[in-house]
């Protein structure tokens, strides 16, 4: 665990409802303050942190004086809308004590399935992290239905890890980690300190899909680790009750269960880009742009493009060719084909005057590009 997590520079921390709301009794301000303090330590050490937090519905129920969780979806959505106000207020006040700003980001799985919304969310989160802000992400429970029923912010945490290409996903829960069996029923159950994410045996240990444990239980965390590993992020499942759990984990201390991604983040993402066969278009580059990409590892700017072929949308995979037609790279483009044709051969500072807006100064960011 030591070398894997100590190298993490961008992490996603997910905290569950039972931790945030003290088993549903309303927001646990002391616990949230403790995590804010820990995250402030990580920020001072140069680590970027995104927080995925449950708790809006439980806080809304407490504010509305509801003793029992309603079954009607519209009532759950109303509770979420009320509870979000309290959740945001507490997080902002706790981070402000450490001279940090927090930002609320509400997402649904549909936001991350739609390519345009996916790219918008990624750009926003990248910008917030660059500004030193702590994004606090929650499911947009006021507009979704299935997610309310299953309470699966573990999956959301994994999707966010994929979205921002995080090095690690840390899932804080009220359990010490993943066990070989349910420790509440089997006294011989042992804590699993380390395993490989995606191992089918883990899913069997966690109860399997559709089991009684599966509703917000350990199975969702195991599946989240499997999903996070697709972009190379390691996952830790640990107790949120552990003192200073986040700094200790990032220092390499063994706490909870570490589920290791088969590939490191960069390798996994570059492999995915290189193998993306469904290219939607081709960009021909001048010799200067080819040299910058190959020798300096920089992003592709519009000024280096001398030819555009194909009909593609923003976020599509395109092939990059040199002037002789040799395939040199693959990348995800930040502008559509029509927009790319308009800004080709032009400096980045002219993008706004040409298109009426500027999404990114790069046509393809170096993080979204792989040389062949």
List the CATH number of the domain containing 10. Answer: 3.40.1160.10
Whether 198 and 286 map to the same domain: the answer is: no
Listed residues 245, 265, 285: the one ending a domain: 265
CATH of the domain at 361: 2.30.130.10
Q: Does some domain include residue 341?
A: yes
Is 270 a domain residue?
A: no
Residue 247 lies in a domain: yes
The DSSP bridge pattern shows strands 327-332 and 369-371 to be: antiparallel
Question: How large is the average pLDDT for residues 152-167?
Answer: 88
pTM score of the predicted model: 0.77
Identify the sign of the CA torsion 111, 116, 121, 126.
positive
Give yes or no for residue 295 having a pLDDT over 90. Answer: yes
Q: Are 292 and 162 within one domain?
A: no
With b meaning 16 or more CB within 10 Å and e meaning fewer, what string describes 19-45?
bbbbeeebbbeebbbbbbbbbbebbee
Instruction: With respect to residue 199, please indicate whether it lies within any of the assigned structural domains.
Output: yes
290 and 260 belong to one structural domain: no
Domain count, the chain: 2
* Same-domain check for residues 204 and 350: no
Residues 260 and 281 in one domain: no
| Percent of the chain predicted with pLDDT > 70 | 88
Say how far apart CA 321 and CA 330 lie, in whole Å.
9
Domain boundary among 235, 265, 295: 265
Q: What is the pLDDT of residue 151?
A: 46
Same domain, 167 and 80: yes
Q: What is the pLDDT of residue 153?
A: 84
Sheet holding 234-239, edge to edge: 102-107, 134-139, 48-53, 10-15, 168-173, 234-239, 257-260, 194-196
Residues 244 and 119 grouped into a single domain: yes
Best-predicted range by mean pLDDT among 27-31, 165-169, 282-286? Answer: 282-286
Q: Are residues 29 and 148 both part of a single domain? A: yes
Residues 42 and 69 in one domain: yes
Residues 286 and 147 in one domain: no
pLDDT of residue 43: 96
Distance CA 358, CA 291 (A): 25
Residue given tokens 């193998």 in the structure block: 275
How does pLDDT run across 115-137, given as a tens digit for each residue?
678 888 888 999 999 999 999 99
Residue 271 lies in a domain: no
Q: In this structure, are 204 and 297 located in the same domain? A: no
Q: Which one is predicted more confidently, 33 or 213?
A: 33
Query: Which range is least confidently modeled, 233-237, 345-349, 368-372?
Result: 368-372
Q: 44 lies in which domain range? A: 2-265
Last residue of a domain, one of 265, 294, 329: 265
Is residue 236 in a domain? yes
Both 134 and 29 in one domain: the answer is yes
* Residue 162 lies inside a defined structural domain of this protein: yes
**For residue 341, which phi and psi values (nearest 5 degrees)?**
-60, -35
Q: Calculate mean pLDDT across residues 158-163.
A: 89
Going from the C-alpha of 12 to that of each of 3, 129, 209, the distances in angstroms are 18, 12, 24
Question: Residue 71 pLDDT more than 90?
Answer: no
């Amino acid at each position: 665990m030591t070398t894997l997590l100590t190298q993490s520079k961008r992490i996603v921390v997910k905290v569950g409802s039972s931790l945030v709301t003290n088993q549903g009794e309303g927001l646990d301000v002391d616990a949230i303050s403790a995590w804010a303090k820990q995250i402030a330590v990580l920020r001072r050490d140069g680590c970027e942190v995104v927080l995925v937090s449950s708790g809006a519905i439980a806080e809304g129920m407490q504010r509305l004086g509801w003793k029992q969780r309603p079954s009607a979806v519209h009532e759950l959505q109303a509770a979420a809308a009320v509870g979000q106000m309290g959740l945001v207020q507490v997080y902002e006040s706790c981070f402000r004590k450490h001279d940090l700003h927090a930002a609320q980001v509400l997402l649904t799985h549909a936001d991350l399935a739609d390519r345009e919304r996916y790219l918008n969310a990624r750009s926003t989160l990248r910008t917030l992290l660059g500004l030193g802000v702590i994004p606090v992400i929650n499911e947009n429970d006021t507009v979704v239905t299935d997610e309310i029923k299953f309470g699966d912010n573990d999956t959301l945490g994994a999707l966010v890890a994929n979205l921002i290409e995080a090095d690690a996903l840390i899932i804080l829960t009220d359990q010490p980690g993943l066990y070989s069996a349910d420790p509440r029923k089997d006294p011989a159950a042992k804590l699993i300190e380390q395993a490989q994410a995606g191992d089918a045996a883990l899913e069997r240990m966690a109860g399997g899909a559709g089991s009684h444990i599966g509703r917000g239980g350990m199975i969702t965390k195991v599946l989240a680790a499997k999903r996070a590993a697709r972009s190379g992020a390691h996952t830790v499942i640990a107790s949120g009750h552990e003192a200073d759990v986040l700094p200790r984990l990032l220092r390499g201390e063994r706490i909870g269960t570490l589920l290791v991604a088969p590939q490191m983040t960069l390798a996994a993402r570059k492999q995915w880009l290189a193998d993306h066969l469904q290219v939607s278009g081709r960009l021909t580059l001048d010799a200067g742009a080819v040299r910058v990409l190959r020798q300096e590892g920089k992003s592709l700017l519009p000024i280096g493009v001398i030819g555009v072929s194909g009909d593609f949308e923003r976020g599509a995979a395109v092939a990059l060719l040199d002037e002789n037609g040799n395939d040199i790279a693959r990348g995800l483009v930040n502008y559509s084909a029509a927009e790319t044709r308009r800004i080709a051969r032009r400096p980045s500072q002219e993008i706004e005057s040409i298109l009426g807006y500027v999404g990114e100064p790069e046509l393809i960011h170096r993080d979204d590009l792989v040389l062949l």
